[in-house]
Amino acid sequence: MSLRRFIKSRVAKEPAVAIGGDPRLADWETVATIEDEKTAVAWRDHLQSAGVDAACLADHPLDRFGHGDVFLVVPPEQWSRANEIVENLD
C-alpha cells in the first residue's frame, strides 16, 4: 500500500447525517423530513448537484438500520430554490 493511499484512508470523513446541534447548520431551514438515511442522503446529493448547499441533520441518532427523522436542510437564502426542486420531482 502506498503512503498516499494509507494517509487518505486514515482521514476522518464527516458523517452523512449530522446528529444533534451542529452549529454550522443552526440557522438552516428544513426542506423535507425523511424517514431513512439512504433516501435523505440521495436527496441531499441531488440538491447539491443542482447547486444548492444541502445537508442532512437528525436530532437523535438513527437506529441500526438508518431509520429515524432526518431533516434535509439548506441555508435560508436557498430554501426557495431547494423547495422548488423537491416539489417538482413528483
Task: Label residue 18 left, alpha or beta by phi (over 0 means left) and psi (-120 to 50 means alpha).
Answer: beta
CA distance 83 to 47: 10
pLDDT, tens digit, for every residue of 32-79?
999 999 999 999 999 999 999 999 999 999 999 999 999 999 999 999
Say if residue 6's pLDDT is above 50.
no
Distance CA 31, CA 37 (A): 15
Q: What is the rounded radius of gyration, in angstroms, for the C-alpha atoms of the chain?
A: 15
pLDDT at 4: 52
Query: What residue spans of the chain are helical by DSSP H?
Result: 3-10, 37-49, 79-87
pTM here is 0.80
Say how many CA atoms lie within 13 Å of 21 toward its Cβ.
Answer: 0
